Amino acid sequence: MTTTSFRVVIPARYQSTRLPGKPLADILGKPMVQWVYEAALRSAASSVVIATDEQKIVDAVRAFGGAVTMTSPDHVSGTDRLAEVAQREGWSADDVIVNVQGDEPAIDPELIDQVGALLARHPVAGVATLCTPIHHETEMLDPNAVKVVYGDDALAMYFSRAAIPWNRDGSAVDPLGHRHLGIYGYRVAALQQFTTWPVGRLEAIEKLEQLRFMEQGVRIAIEPAKTVPFPGVDTPADLHRITELLRNRVREGGR
């Protein structure tokens, strides 16, 4: 595929241990998932749809006029949910889907476009994603911060919760150290294959599903994000922080 045409699917799971009903959390009078959806509409995507297994989310999305589809409640991951949507819609094997998480109401549409364009530029890859440089040792050593190393060809070599690369002779923070950002673009063919593969050995150890693609020989294109991404929402404190950020953005005339 040589064009930058892509679709956006937003998986929105209702259950959350730390913030139940997270996609419907109120932010300045709108549910969180509406902020995500509206940001995706400002990207270059040819279509945007929310995929969920919860009727409350379906009702909320329809109330604000968004596109939504109900998917199986049995999916282990958002990747499986995307694959179901692609199959149901009959999208072709070469179609590109950008997965935008439903808990990132401050997502920059430019990042969505970047992922779609990145995969289009790398026909050898089945997946594309982004990263950002690591500047602090605490982040490099944090197992919750997923690190990635990649080659000069902009293809990922490995993802890990460990500190990679490890500079044996210097600081723990190396110029090659990058943190992975959880936004993905997929070719439909790679998505459909993913659902047929068992959990990979490295995936099981690191608890990183992108390693399943790599263990099966699917290349992952990656590059630094063009803009600094805002964090997603996992806790009530995150919700408060993102609400204030968006309030300030609205005051300044943004969306």
Which pLDDT score, from 0 to 100, does residue 95 have? 95
User: How do 178-187 and 7-12 pair as beta strands?
Assistant: unpaired
Query: In the prediction, which pLDDT does 255 show?
Result: 67
pLDDT at residue 208, rounded to an integer: 96
User: Can you give the pTM of this predicted structure?
Assistant: 0.92
pLDDT tens digits along 157-207: 999 999 999 988 888 888 889 999 989 999 999 999 999 999 999 999 999
**CA 203 to CA 251: how far, in whole Å?**
43
**pLDDT of 129 over the 80 cut:** yes
- What per-residue confidence (pLDDT) applies to 254? 66
Tell me if 136 sits within 8 A of 190, measured CB to CB: no
Average pLDDT over residues 209-235: 93
Q: Tell whether the model's pLDDT for residue 1 goes beyond 60.
A: no
The average pLDDT across 79-108 equals 94
Q: Tell me: the pLDDT tens digits for 12-36?
A: 988 777 788 999 999 999 999 999 9
The pLDDT value given to residue 2: 41
Span 108-135, mean pLDDT?
A: 96
Mention the CATH class of domain 7-247.
alpha beta
* pLDDT for the residue numbered 16: 74
